[in-house]
A = this chain, B = another copy of it.
Amino acid sequence: MLTRPDVAIVGAGPVGLAIAWRCATRGLRVAVHDPAPGSGASRVAAGMLAPVAEAYFGERELTGLLTASAARWPDFAAALAAATGREFGYRTDGTLVVGLTGDDLAEARRLWSYQQGLGLPISALRPSQLRDREPALTPRLRGGAVAPGDHQVDPRRLVDALRVAAERAGVTLVPGPVTRLAELAAPVVVVAAGCGAAALTGLPVRPVKGQVLRLRAPDHRPPGFRHVIRGYADGESVYLVPRDSGEVVVGATVEERADTEVTAGAVLRLLRAAVDLVPELAEYALVEATAGLRPGTPDNAPILGPLPGRPGVLAATGHHRHGIVLTPVTADLITDLIVTGEPDPLLTPFTADRFH
């Protein structure tokens, strides 16, 4: 890059790359700094686009942002596919929420009743209806629900496609690390560095460890189920995300730890719940067991927009467990803010000043 960029972005995860792509298509010169693109939380993420099944008590504003972003996903995916010719595992088969025991079902139902109360599209199903949709589910199931609008994407392939889209739009990827924002000679700096945002900005972003498994169906078959399955099994909460490649992602722990060690206990709990819910998974290969660090915030919601007292610096971090679903809305809101200078009202609950 011979000329100074208009926008320097720290972090080439999905959020940073999507902002870069969107800004470049609006005519801005953009540089993205990352020594290892796609190596953060997105590498471990399952890629559920699940605003409904992820709507939790006391997180009403976050639920609104999740829903808004999920609604943007079809257009975002179409634009990304058109810009790159890439396929990135975007699937709209829906999500089944299932409870193994009576206690599990009660816990799941308590949550989906809350979600229904918010007007979100989720409907209870009897065990026979669940197994009609997915015969691979265990006959022991006590019940569940379907959230037809909760979809999925493959985060690793998403990052690859976003990188291609960004580079085709003229974005420069700079492979060096950034240790101080003052190094960056651009009028606008976006910190999309995930957990790295804390050291760069002082924002209250902390690592939240997640352990995740990747299984693979035997004989190069696709998995024996098509819905994302969010299950409650003997008190464990687990999700199973099937991909056309035969991969099934099984996740995830949520641990207040900053290491990335895979532990025997976590693998045991994830596998037990997975096999209890879908018995045929016992015969799948275990191809990967990894741990990643999500960028968590005090209220579990992202930090989006201007950094108080740091003119020209914007935050797009703290996406915690929701970085993939929130990528389109984050890219749109931050790009609009950069281009127009006017913050969208959607940003208001998520700006950094809420922690002051």
Among A213, A267, A268, the one with the most B-chain Cβ atoms within 10 Å of its Cβ is: A268
Q: How far is the CB of A253 from chain B (nearest CB, A)?
A: 12
Q: How far is the CA of A281 from the CA of B264 in the complex (A)?
A: 7
Is residue A261 within 8 Å, beta carbon to beta carbon, of the partner chain?
Answer: yes
A215 proximity list for chain B (CB < 8 A) = 264
Q: How far is the CB of A164 from chain B (nearest CB, A)?
A: 33
Task: Tell me if B285 and A265 are in contact (CB < 8 A).
Answer: no
Task: Tell me if B271 and A283 are in contact (CB < 8 A).
Answer: no
A50 proximity list for chain B (CB < 8 A) = none
Q: How far is the CA of A27 from the CA of B283 in the complex (A)?
A: 51
A283 proximity list for chain B (CB < 8 A) = 263-265
A271 proximity list for chain B (CB < 8 A) = 264, 267-268, 271
Task: Tell me if B289 and A263 are in contact (CB < 8 A).
Answer: no
Q: How far is the CB of A255 from chain B (nearest CB, A)?
A: 12
Q: For residue A272, which residue of chain B has the nearest CB? A: B268
Q: For residue A267, which residue of chain B has the nearest CB? A: B286
Q: Mark A263-298, 1 if CB is under 8 A from B, else 0.
A: 111011001101100000111111101000000000
Is residue A337 within 8 Å, beta carbon to beta carbon, of the partner chain?
Answer: no
Q: Mark A211-230, 1 if CB is under 8 A from B, else 0.
A: 00101000000000000000
A125 proximity list for chain B (CB < 8 A) = none
Category for how many chain A residues contact B: 20 to 34
A268 proximity list for chain B (CB < 8 A) = 268, 271-272, 275, 282
Copies of this chain present: 2
Q: How far is the CB of A264 from chain B (nearest CB, A)?
A: 5
Task: Tell me if A275 and B264 are in contact (CB < 8 A).
Answer: yes
Task: Tell me if A285 and B267 are in contact (CB < 8 A).
Answer: no
Q: How far is the CA of A287 from the CA of B267 in the complex (A)?
A: 11
A282 proximity list for chain B (CB < 8 A) = 263-265, 268
Q: Which of B261, B264, B274 contacts A264 (CB 8 A)?
A: B274
Task: Tell me if A285 and B262 are in contact (CB < 8 A).
Answer: yes
Chain A stretch 285-313: residues in CB contact (< 8 A) with chain B: 285-287, 289
Q: How far is the CA of A267 from the CA of B272 in the complex (A)?
A: 10
Q: How far is the CA of A287 from the CA of B284 in the complex (A)?
A: 20
Q: How far is the CB of A257 from chain B (nearest CB, A)?
A: 11
Q: How far is the CB of A94 from chain B (nearest CB, A)?
A: 24
Given contacts A272-B272, A286-B289, contact A267 B267 (CB under 8 A): yes
Q: How far is the CA of A282 from the CA of B271 in the complex (A)?
A: 13
A272 proximity list for chain B (CB < 8 A) = 268, 272
Q: How far is the CB of A199 from chain B (nearest CB, A)?
A: 25
6 pairs of A and B residues whose beta carbons are closest in the complex: A265-B282, A268-B271, A261-B285, A264-B286, A262-B286, A264-B284
A262-B286, A264-B285, A265-B281 known, 16 other contacts, Cβ within 8 Å = A213-B264, A215-B264, A261-B285, A262-B285, A262-B287, A263-B283, A263-B285, A264-B271, A264-B274, A264-B282, A265-B282, A267-B286, A268-B268, A268-B271, A268-B282, A271-B271
Ordered by A's residue number, 14 sampled pairs between the chains whose C-beta atoms are within 8 Å are: A213-B264, A215-B264, A262-B287, A263-B282, A263-B284, A263-B286, A264-B274, A264-B286, A265-B282, A265-B283, A267-B267, A271-B271, A286-B289, A289-B289
